[in-house]
């Protein structure tokens, strides 16, 4: 889903404004079939159509998954005492 804020702790949120790609979950029975990639493309194209220039996400374990899709690491944050990586992508028209 596409959300405006609330993905990182308040101290980080000041430096990391949204929008955010959030809540990407694919049922294990349907993984490795392009479902996640299609969902990511849908959200990024929606954000682009809305006029946003950048989209962020936060992930605990899937950095390489997003890097293979063109996302870049932006910084490390801690959420609920767990290290996570904030990543971003530029939305080109």
pLDDT per residue as tens digits for the range 57-84: 999 989 999 999 999 999 999 888 899 9
pLDDT per residue as tens digits for the range 16-49: 888 999 988 899 999 999 999 999 999 999 999 9
- Domain total in the chain: 1
Cα of 47 vs its chain's centroid, Å = 12
- Contacts with 39 (C-beta within 8 Å, 6 or more apart), sequence order: 24, 26
Range of the domain at 56: 2-90
Quote the CA–CA distance of 77 and 36 in Å, as a whole number.
Answer: 23
Q: Containing H/E element for 72?
A: strand 72-79
Residue 52 sits in a domain of what CATH number?
3.40.630.30
């Amino acid at each position: 889903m596409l959300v405006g804020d609330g993905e990182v702790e308040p101290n980080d949120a000041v430096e990391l404004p949204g929008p955010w790609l959030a809540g990407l979950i694919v049922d294990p029975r349907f993984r490795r079939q392009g479902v996640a990639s299609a969902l990511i493309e849908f959200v990024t194209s929606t954000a682009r159509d809305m006029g946003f220039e950048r989209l962020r996400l936060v992930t605990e374990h899937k950095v390489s998954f997003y890097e293979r899709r063109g996302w870049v690491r932006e910084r490390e944050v801690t959420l609920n005492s767990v290290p996570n990586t904030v990543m971003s992508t530029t939305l080109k028209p």
